[in-house]
């Protein structure tokens, strides 16, 4: 668990989710999913009756895939919270009457609710995996200059340097 008191992005007196912890969905064919995500460049790790998706060189599991049904379907999303916010989230979920039982594909931990779009959502005390600061803005690569006298390859018209 992350010690949120040392985390520069934790704002005092603000109750908020700090990260998308992971998302869980089902697919009709494990083999197809495994091949696709490996080809896509992810670190696909079989784990019992599911596939866990990681990025190479990072320990965090970003998604879990279960084999079920005849089409791909989101099962639930897990959002990370700080330990000191757990009691306040439990109170808020209870007060709003949006609590539900844990998803059957989960380990049952955390606080469970259905969001306004009907998506099953887990609030889980978890390490912060989102950035704590904006990435520096990088200038786009310089535009290549066209040689003087360049012509369109299809119609043969002269191309100006500004087009």
Decide if 86 is inside a domain: yes
Question: What is the structure's pLDDT at 45?
Answer: 93
Distance of CA 60 to the CA centre of its chain: 11
Decide if 115 is inside a domain: yes
User: Domains in the chain: how many in total?
Assistant: 1
Of 76, 74, 78, the residue nearest 27 (C-alpha): 74
For the domain that residue 102 is a member of, what is the CATH number? 3.10.180.10
Tokens representing residue 48 in the block: 């019992």
Question: What is the structure's pLDDT at 99?
Answer: 93
Decide if 88 is inside a domain: yes
Question: What is the structure's pLDDT at 163?
Answer: 45
Using DSSP, state whether 162 is helix, strand or coil.
Answer: coil
**Residue numbers in the chain where pLDDT is lower than 50:** 1-5, 163
Question: What is the structure's pLDDT at 159?
Answer: 72
Decide if 57 is inside a domain: yes
Q: What is the distance between the alpha carbons of residues 32 and 36, in angstroms, rounded to a whole number?
A: 6
The range of the structural domain enclosing residue 56 comes to 4-125
Question: What is the structure's pLDDT at 11?
Answer: 74
**Within 13 Å of residue 64, how many CA atoms lie on the same side as its CB?**
17
pTM over 0.85: no
Decide if 138 is inside a domain: no
Decide if 108 is inside a domain: yes
């Amino acid at each position: 668990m992350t010690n949120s008191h040392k985390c520069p992005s934790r704002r005092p007196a603000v109750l908020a989710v700090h990260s998308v912890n992971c998302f869980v969905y089902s697919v009709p064919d494990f083999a197809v999913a495994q091949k696709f995500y490996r080809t896509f460049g992810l670190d696909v790790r079989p784990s019992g009756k599911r596939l866990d998706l990681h990025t190479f060189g990072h320990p965090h599991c970003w998604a879990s895939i279960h084999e079920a049904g005849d089409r791909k379907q989101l099962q639930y999303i897990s959002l990370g919270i700080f330990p000191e916010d757990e009691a306040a989230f439990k109170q808020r979920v209870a007060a709003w009457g949006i609590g539900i039982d844990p998803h059957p594909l989960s380990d049952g931990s955390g606080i469970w609710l259905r969001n306004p779009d009907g998506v099953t959502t887990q609030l889980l005390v978890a390490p912060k995996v989102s950035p704590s600061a904006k990435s520096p803005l990088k200038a786009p690569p310089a535009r290549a200059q066209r040689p003087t006298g360049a012509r369109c390859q299809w119609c043969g018209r002269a191309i100006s340097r500004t087009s």
